[in-house]
């Protein structure tokens, strides 16, 4: 048994499980509550995490949420949650514009945090939040679930095998018709397709190309009536003639494919937001390999388990989503919005 695994086993034997509290009661919070319940019933995770609490600004809403998912505790304010010493890990499930402020409050109250993507609204906020994490010595990690999923390693191993030769081009898209949600359309909430869905194609490209720096970028967007980006395309140009294209939309439904084109074939990832399968084609466009992804509880269990294990290890970041990766994507999205001339109201103050 490794030293880290030994520490985890000892911690789990000598202390309680990692109790998870959810900050926010919107749609993604429901998905996390379902995940925590399934983890609690799964022998792989039952001794690791415990569904514990939910916090919302409306006490009745929080209580209803807690009853729905069998959570023992609900709070009618975020301050109540911060004052509860039993909450070990807080999953922040609020709009992007609130992540930095709420994350810092949690850290200063002694709470480890798992922050829903996008990590913050901009790089400056991200840097301040990570500085607070370093100061407090607590875990602070981004809940960008695709970085934690088994599909990431499976795709990496396929590409490393040389099955499509040398990578030359990457494309990825994600689009849903989701303009009915204020967090998508309101500039004050850091709305727009980029931070909500565009972050996935950009992360897909970044993972495929293993974080390599690009030489230049070309990007354009079409605005929604509120001024945020409705849909966009970004092309990144790298050394050695490598190129990547990322599309995102909140006004159309896309096929959600991620494609890696090589010198000897290409690889298609079905649904970059939650990859279900990978198809590999040779130079003659013949299907030579099909790989289905492993069954999962919801897909969110991997980020929760990684965060819980990091806490037991005394780590400030998760290996699947280190702070350097989070900052690299935040800087890229800042650069993209900079070319568009899109600033949120709170950035102009």
Q: What is the pLDDT along the chain (349 residues), one digit of tens a residue?
A: 344 444 444 544 445 799 999 999 999 999 999 999 999 999 999 999 999 999 999 999 999 999 999 999 999 999 999 999 999 999 999 999 999 999 999 999 999 999 999 999 999 999 999 999 999 999 999 999 999 999 999 999 999 999 999 999 999 999 999 999 999 999 999 999 999 999 999 999 999 999 999 999 999 999 999 999 999 999 999 999 999 999 999 999 999 999 999 999 999 999 999 999 999 999 999 999 999 999 999 999 999 999 999 999 999 999 999 999 999 999 999 999 999 999 999 998 6
40: three-class secondary structure by DSSP:
helix
- Confirm if 122 and 334 have CB atoms less than 8 A apart: yes
Both ends of the chain: CA-CA distance in Å? Answer: 53
The full length of the chain comes to: 349
DSSP state of 293: P
**H or E stretch including 148?**
none
pLDDT of residue 348: 81
Q: How many CB atoms lie within 10 A of CB 222?
A: 12
Which pLDDT value is given to residue 15? Answer: 54
Smallest Cα–Cα separation from 147: which of 292, 326, 276, 309?
326
Report d(CA 1, CA 239) in Å as an integer.
42
- Starting at the edge strand that comes first in sequence, how are the strands of the sheet with 112-116 ordered? 73-75, 49-55, 18-23, 89-92, 112-116, 140-143
Q: State the CB neighbour count (10 A cutoff) for residue 290.
A: 9
Separation CA 207–CA 164 (nearest Å): 17
For the full predicted model, state whether its pTM sits above 0.75: yes
pLDDT at 13: 45
Residue among 17, 117, 181, 289 flagged as catalytic? 117
* Cβ-based neighbour number of residue 324 at 10 Å: 10
Structure tokens at 28: 């993604």
Closest CA to 94 of 121, 71, 74: 121
181 catalytically annotated? no
């Amino acid at each position: 048994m490794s030293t880290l695994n030994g520490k985890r086993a000892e911690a789990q034997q000598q202390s309680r499980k990692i109790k998870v509290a959810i900050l926010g009661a919107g749609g993604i919070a429901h998905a996390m509550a379902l995940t925590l319940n399934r983890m609690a019933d799964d022998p792989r995770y039952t001794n690791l995490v415990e569904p514990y609490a939910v916090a919302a600004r409306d006490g009745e809403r929080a209580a209803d949420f807690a009853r729905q998912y069998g959570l023992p505790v609900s709070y009618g304010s975020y301050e109540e949650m911060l004052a509860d010493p039993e909450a070990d890990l807080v999953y922040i499930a609020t709009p992007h514009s609130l992540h930095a402020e709420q994350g810092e409050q949690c850290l200063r109250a002694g709470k480890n945090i798992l922050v829903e993507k996008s990590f913050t609204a901009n790089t400056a906020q991200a840097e301040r939040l990570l500085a607070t994490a370093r100061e407090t010595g607590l875990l602070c990690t981004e809940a960008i679930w695709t970085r934690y999923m088994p599909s990431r390693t499976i795709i990496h191993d396929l590409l490393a095998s040389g099955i499509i030769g040398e990578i030359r081009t990457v494309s990825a898209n994600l689009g849903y018709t989701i303009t009915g949600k204020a967090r998508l359309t309101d500039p004050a909430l850091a709305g727009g397709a980029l931070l909500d869905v565009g972050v996935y194609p950009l992360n897909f490209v970044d993972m495929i190309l293993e974080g390599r720096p690009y030489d230049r970028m070309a990007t354009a967007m079409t605005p929604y009536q509120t001024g945020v980006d409705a849909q966009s395309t970004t092309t990144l140009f790298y050394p050695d003639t490598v190129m990547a294209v990322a599309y995102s939309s909140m006004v159309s439904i896309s096929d959600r494919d991620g494609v890696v084109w090589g010198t000897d074939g290409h690889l298609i990832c079905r649904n970059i937001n939650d990859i279900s399968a990978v198809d590999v084609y040779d130079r003659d466009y013949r299907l030579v390999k099909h790989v289905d992804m492993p069954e999962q509880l919801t897909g969110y269990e991997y980020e929760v388990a990684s965060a819980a294990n990091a806490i037991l290890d005394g780590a400030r970041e998760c290996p699947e989503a280190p702070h350097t990766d989070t900052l690299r994507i935040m800087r890229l999205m800042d650069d993209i919005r900079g070319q568009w001339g899109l600033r949120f109201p709170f950035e102009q103050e």
